[in-house]
Amino acid sequence: MSERLLTVNDLNVRYGKVEALYGASLSVDRGTIVSVIGPNGAGKSTLLNAVMGVLPSRGIIEFCGNNMGNVSIERRVAQGLCLVPETRELFSQMSVEDNLELGAFTRYRRGDKGIRATLDSVFKLFPRLEQRRSQMAGSLSGGERQMLALGRALMCQPTLLMLDEPSLGLAPLIVKEILNNISSLRSTGVSILLIEQNARAALQISDYGYVLENGEIALEGPSRELANNPRVIESYLGIGGVEAKIEC
């Protein structure tokens, strides 16, 4: 039985009067990739933002056994929780390298000596970032921005990495590359909570999956089973969807 990393229990989030998430519960075990799929507007981003503390929420969020109720975003980052939001939030007027270095800010404050090594490993994972290291982040292409957002998050050596639609707006070929990168992260020991529109690919690279509809968890199960569930096939796997070739 593997160790529980994140437990979300009965989470409610509202925007003013509009309830965007009700009674959502999910969990992520250490060393696994968990995906959340669902249609546009289901509340997927809301879920991640609430777990990160960007949005206020009611309910229980437990990370590494600690209640995150009153914990600020910065502290969550320092404890190893890291979010790549849908909007990426890069520092576009700063260089690629500065963006990456800033990703390791909390480690730097702790006096961590391994930051250089992490930078090298991020460059190894995304050689294109190394070529563009002194270019402004704002001048990168969509795919490169996504790599930079991922790389910046990896720089803080998260225990749990939360990715909000990493393939959003990317060309199919680049989607494949990014998803391959994500599934290769598994070997580094990081756990991932992945949100994807691209349900087929998400279920292929994840161990466990949830289906979020209208702010509620409608279905859950091991990814392989979900991928064979008639309802999932009909709603999410029917047409389109990029086949992700997993190379590891």
Partner 1 sequence: MDFQTLLILAQDAVTNSAIYALLALSLILVFGVTRVIFVAQGEFVSYGALTLASLQMGVMPGTVWLLLMLAGIAAVMETFRLLTSGAGQELPRSLATVLVPPLVIAGLVKVCTPLHLPLGWQVLLTMLIVMPMGPLLYRVAFRPLADATVLVLLIAAVAVHFVLVGLGLLFFGAEGVRTPPFSDAQFQFGFLSVSGQSLWVYVASSVFIALLAWFFNKTLYGKALRAVAFNRNGARLVGISPHLAGTFSFALASAIGCLSGVLIGPVTTLYYDSGFLIGLKGFVGAIVGGMASYPLAAFGALIVGFSESFSSFWLSGYKDVVVFTMIIPVLLWRSLSTVHYEEEE
Ligand X SMILES: Nc1ncnc2c1ncn2[C@@H]1O[C@H](COP(=O)(O)OP(=O)(O)O)[C@@H](O)[C@H]1O
Q: Token pair for residue 192?
A: 């991932």
Q: Whole-angstrom Cα distance, residue 40 to residue 180?
A: 24
Taking CB under 5 A as the criterion, which residues in 86-115 touch Mg ion? 86
Pick one of partner 1, ligand X, Mg ion, none as the site partner of residue 15 (Cβ within 5 to 8 A by kind).
ligand X
C-alpha to C-alpha distance for 195 and 57, rounded to whole angstroms: 19
Candidates 6, 11, 28, 43; binder of ligand X (CB under 6 A) is 43
Q: Which member of 6, 13, 45, 132 binds Mg ion (CB under 5 A)?
A: 45
Shortest distance (Å) from residue 51 CB to ligand X: 12
CA angle 46, 50, 55 (to 5 degrees): 90
List 6, 24, 37, 46, residue binding ligand X (CB under 6 A): 46
Q: Is 15 in the site for ligand X (CB under 6 A)?
A: yes
The two tokens of residue 223 are: 């990814």
Q: 10 Å Cβ neighbour count for 195? A: 25
Nearer to Mg ion, 52 or 104 (CB): 52
> Tokens for 141?
């292409």
The one among 3, 19, 23, 73 contacting partner 1 by CB under 8 A: 73
* Binding flag, residue 87, partner 1 (CB under 8 A): yes
If 0-12 CB within 10 Å is exposed, 13-18 middle and 19+ buried, where does residue 211 land?
A: buried
Name the binder of 101 from Mg ion, partner 1, ligand X, none, CB < 5-8 A by kind.
partner 1
